[in-house]
């Protein structure tokens, strides 16, 4: 390794680069562009993935939403246009007859006026069970979510979103233990959470109260607004969706081919589409980046072949003076690795700067398409190591060419 510290070694590399400044510069730009593309595309892919996780990360991915609508066909004496109403008994039938279920969570919703002292606002009020926090995780800031005791005792407690806190409370007021009025009924605030992108109540926010309390206050009886159904990971959520809808049609005497009576949204299927897109995007990113890198490295190999041809007489003199074939090879390989390393470092730095600019500009704000576009350090190290290996391998070609010429023939070269 002493040759790496040898001043003459680096002077020779510098002299070679200085003789062909334009050619060397263009070659370095080619390799730099390759790793720059790789870094930026990987960062952009990560930004899209981060945004996707922000949107859907709180949901159990293997989930489907089911609700009732009007029938589209007459069946068993019932006319077309009959309004279907889901019941709590439907949930028990689903739990007992459908395989592969993890959670079946009923939900209710109304709009209501909430008041705290002289501050008011109209918000979405949801009747929920504790299991909701398992299929749609709440990012709690203070307190807790609904628990089993709340359900059993029909407690008048509520959990509010952060946006509601900002509208109904003075700044720095601790909300837990305070009371707010919802449609003139006092509710004890037991929790506050950050608003999610998906499933939230829009800019106004949501309030959650126990399902049984909602039933009693709004005189719902055993009605259900809609269900969130989560399947076990090993079961196909699309099949679960079809089985649930068919069962509900049978329970409510709906024609089996009626596609309107029972509505659904398969979150698991939609998420699978997005994850498939992200996987394809990452593969394409690596393919484009590596292909561009290889093209740039081959360009370095071609430049070194030309350089070797131009320096044939010089190499012949070195061989005649006693330089071994390995010493000649080593010098050319070192030049190849040096050029690829410089180009790689510049590409990584430039790519990092571009990702920082993207993060500061279009990567911030609630509507950002790219969230925190970054590249993991191990990925950068792997890319850099790959570049060095490619530089070494491509340097072997001109190096072998350099030592394949006999010294006496090299000295005759004009």
150-197 pLDDT, tens digit each: 999 999 999 999 999 999 999 889 999 999 999 999 999 999 998 765
Distance between CA atoms of 282 and 288, rounded to whole angstroms?
A: 10
More confidently predicted of 325 and 120: 120
Assess whether pLDDT exceeds 70 at residue 57.
no
Mean pLDDT across the stretch 282-303?
76
Assess whether pLDDT exceeds 80 at residue 210.
yes
Secondary structure, 3-state, 85-102:
CEEHHHHHHHHHHCCCEE
More confidently predicted of 129 and 322: 129
Distance between CA atoms of 125 and 250, rounded to whole angstroms?
A: 31
Q: Highest-confidence range of 38-47, 65-74, 328-337, by mean pLDDT?
A: 65-74
Assess whether pLDDT exceeds 70 at residue 64.
yes
Assess whether pLDDT exceeds 80 at residue 328.
no
pLDDT band at 348 (very low <50, low <70, confident <90, very high): confident
Residue 75 pLDDT: 86
Residue 15 pLDDT: 64
Distance between CA atoms of 345 and 36, rounded to whole angstroms?
A: 9
Residue 413 pLDDT: 52
Task: Select from 68, 393, 61 the least CA-distant residue to 233.
Answer: 61
More confidently predicted of 180 and 392: 180
In which residue are the tokens 């279907």 written? 84
Joined tokens for residue 310: 């131009």
Residue 310 pLDDT: 61
Assess whether pLDDT exceeds 50 at residue 201.
no
Mean pLDDT across the stretch 16-34?
73
Distance between CA atoms of 376 and 39, rounded to whole angstroms?
A: 10
Assess whether pLDDT exceeds 80 at residue 263.
yes
Phi and psi at residue 213, to the nearest 5°: -65, -40
Whether residue 52 contacts residue 304, with contact meaning beta carbons closer than 8 Å, is answered with no
Residue 391 pLDDT: 72
Mean pLDDT across the stretch 236-251?
92
Residue 367 pLDDT: 59
Residue 203 pLDDT: 47
Question: Of 33-47, 196-210, 248-262, where does mean pLDDT reach its minimum?
Answer: 196-210
**In the predicted model, what is the mean pLDDT of the chain?**
81
Mean pLDDT across the stretch 26-51?
79
Mean pLDDT across the stretch 381-385?
79
Question: Of 233-247, 276-290, 296-310, where does mean pLDDT reach its minimum?
Answer: 296-310
In which residue are the tokens 């981060």 written? 50
Radius of gyration of the chain (CA): 34
Residue 335 vs residues 186, 190, 349: alpha-carbon distances, Å:
78, 68, 21
Assess whether pLDDT exceeds 70 at residue 359.
yes
Residue 215 pLDDT: 94
Whether residue 191 contacts residue 143, with contact meaning beta carbons closer than 8 Å, is answered with yes
Assess whether pLDDT exceeds 90 at residue 69.
yes
CB-side neighbour CA atoms (13 Å) of 160: 29
CA angle, 395 then 396 then 401, to 5°: 105
Assess whether pLDDT exceeds 60 at residue 2.
no
């Amino acid at each position: 390794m002493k040759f790496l510290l040898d001043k003459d070694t680096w002077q020779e590399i510098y002299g070679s680069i200085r003789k062909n400044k334009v050619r060397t510069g263009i070659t370095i730009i080619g390799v730099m562009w390759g790793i720059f593309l790789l870094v930026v595309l990987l960062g952009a892919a990560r930004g899209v993935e981060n945004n996707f996780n922000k949107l859907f990360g709180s949901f159990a991915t293997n989930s489907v939403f089911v609700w009732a609508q009007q029938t589209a066909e007459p069946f068993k004496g019932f006319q077309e246009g009959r309004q279907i109403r889901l019941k709590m008994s439907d949930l028990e039938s689903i739990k007992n007859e459908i395989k592969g279920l993890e959670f079946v969570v009923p939900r209710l919703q109304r709009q209501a006026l909430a008041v705290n002292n002289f501050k008011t606002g109209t918000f979405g009020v949801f009747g929920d069970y504790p299991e909701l926090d398992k299929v749609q995780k709440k990012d709690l800031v203070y307190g807790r979510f609904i628990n089993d005791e709340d359900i059993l005792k029909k407690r008048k407690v509520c959990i509010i979103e952060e946006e509601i806190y900002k509208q109904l409370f003075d700044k720095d007021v601790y909300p837990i233990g305070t009371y707010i009025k919802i449609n003139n009924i006092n509710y004890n605030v037991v929790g506050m959470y950050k608003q999610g992108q998906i499933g939230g109540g829009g800019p106004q926010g949501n309030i959650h109260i126990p399902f049984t309390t909602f039933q009693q206050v709004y005189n719902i009886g055993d009605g259900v607004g809609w269900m969130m159904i989560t399947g076990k990971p090993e079961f196909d959520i699309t099949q679960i969706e079809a089985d649930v809808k068919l069962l509900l049609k049978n329970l409510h005497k709906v024609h089996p081919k009626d596609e309107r009576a029972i509505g659904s949204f398969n979150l698991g299927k939609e998420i699978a589409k997005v994850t498939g897109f992200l996987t394809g995007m990452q593969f394409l990113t690596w393919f484009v980046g590596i292909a561009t890198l290889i093209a740039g490295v081959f360009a370095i190999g071609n430049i070194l072949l030309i350089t070797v041809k131009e320096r044939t007489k010089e190499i012949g003199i070195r061989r005649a003076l006693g330089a071994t074939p390995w010493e000649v090879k080593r010098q050319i390989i070192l030049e190849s690795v040096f050029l690829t390393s410089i180009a790689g470092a510049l590409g990584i730095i430039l790519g990092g700067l571009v990702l920082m600019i993207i993060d500061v500009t279009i990567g911030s704000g609630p509507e950002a398409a790219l969230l925190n576009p970054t590249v993991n350090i191990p990925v950068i190290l792997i890319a850099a190591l790959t570049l060095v290996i490619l530089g070494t391998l491509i340097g072997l070609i001109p190096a072998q060419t350099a030592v394949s010429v006999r010294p006496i023939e090299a000295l005759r070269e004009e």
